[in-house]
Amino acid sequence: MSLFEVKDKMDALVKELNQHNYNYYVLAMPTIADYTFDQKLAELHALELAHPEFADPNSPTQKVGGEITKTFTTVKHKWPMLSLGNTYNEQDLRDFDERIKKAIGDHFEYVCELKFDGLSISLTYDGSKLVRAVTRGDGTKGDDVTTNIKTIHTIPHQLKADDVPPLFEIRGEIFMHRAAFERLNKEREEIGEVQYANPRNFAAGTVKMQDSGEVAKRPLDCFLYSLNTDKNYFKTHWESLQNLKKWGFNICEHTKLSPNINEVLLFIKHWEKERFNLSYDIDGIVIKVNSFAQQQELGFTAKSPRWAISYKYKAEEVETILEKVTYQVGRTGAVTPVANLKPVQLAGTTVKRATLHNANEIERLDLHLGDSVFVEKGGEIIPKIINVNLDKREPGAVPVIYPSVCPECNTPLIRKEGEVAFYCPNDEACPPQIVGKIQHFISRKAMNIDGLGDETVETFYQRGLIAHISDLYTLHEKAEDLKTLERFGEKSIVNMLKGIELSKQMPFEKVLFGLGIRYVGETVARKLTFGAKNIDNLVSASLEELTSIDEIGQRIAESIIEYFSKPEHLHQITLLKSYGLQFEAIENEITLQSDKLTGKTFVISGVFENYSREELKNMIESNGGKILSGISAKLNYLVAGDNMGPSKLEKANKLNVPLISEDDLLELLK
Which amino acids are annotated catalytic?
Answer: 115
Smallest Cα–Cα separation from 643: which of 153, 114, 177, 207?
Answer: 177
Which residues have CB under 8 Å from 406's CB, separation 6+?
329, 335, 412, 413, 424, 426, 430
Nearer to ligand IVH, 201 or 336 (CB): 201
| Side-chain-facing half-sphere of 562: CA atoms under 13 Å | 13
Q: How far is the CB of 138 from ligand IVH (least distance, A)?
A: 12
Nearer to ligand IVH, 253 or 428 (CB): 253
Q: Residue 83 annotated as binding?
A: yes
CA distances from 583 to 230, 414, 505, 510 (A): 62, 32, 10, 10
Nearer to ligand IVH, 1 or 302 (CB): 302
Which residues have CB under 8 Å from 393's CB, separation 6+?
368, 370, 371, 372
Nearer to ligand IVH, 115 or 440 (CB): 115
Smallest Cα–Cα separation from 182: which of 385, 443, 379, 23?
Answer: 379
Distance CA 84, CA 87 (A): 10
Q: Residue 222 annotated as binding?
A: no
- 296 with 368: CB under 8 angstroms? no
Q: How far is the CB of 304 from ligand IVH (least distance, A)?
A: 6
Nearer to ligand IVH, 115 or 510 (CB): 115
304 backbone φψ class: left, alpha, beta (φ>0; ψ -120 to 50): beta
Q: How far is the CB of 172 from ligand IVH (least distance, A)?
A: 8
Q: Which residues would be at the binding site for ligand IVH (CB under 6 A)?
A: 82-84, 113, 115-116, 120, 173, 225-226, 286, 304-305, 310
Q: Residue 430 annotated as binding?
A: yes
Q: Residue 312 annotated as binding?
A: yes
Give the containing element (helix H, strand E) for 92. helix 90-104
- 117 with 283: CB under 8 angstroms? yes
Q: Residue 614 annotated as binding?
A: no
Closest-approach residue to ligand IVH (CB): 120
DSSP 8-state secondary structure symbol assigned to residue 476: G
Smallest Cα–Cα separation from 38: which of 88, 78, 7, 72?
Answer: 72
Q: How far is the CB of 86 from ligand IVH (least distance, A)?
A: 7
Q: Residue 35 annotated as binding?
A: yes
Distance CA 348, CA 350 (A): 7
End-to-end CA distance of the chain: 68
Amino acid letter, residue 281: D
Nearer to ligand IVH, 116 or 563 (CB): 116
Amino acid letter, residue 248: G
Q: Residue 173 annotated as binding?
A: yes
Q: C-alpha angle with apex 290: 287 to 294, nearest 5 degrees?
A: 110
Q: How far is the CB of 114 from ligand IVH (least distance, A)?
A: 6
Q: Residue 37 annotated as binding?
A: yes
Q: How far is the CB of 111 from ligand IVH (least distance, A)?
A: 9
Per the annotation, binding residues are 34-38, 83-84, 113, 136, 173, 288, 312, 406, 409, 424, 430
Per the annotation, binding residues for NAD(+) are 34-38, 83-84, 113, 136, 173, 288, 312
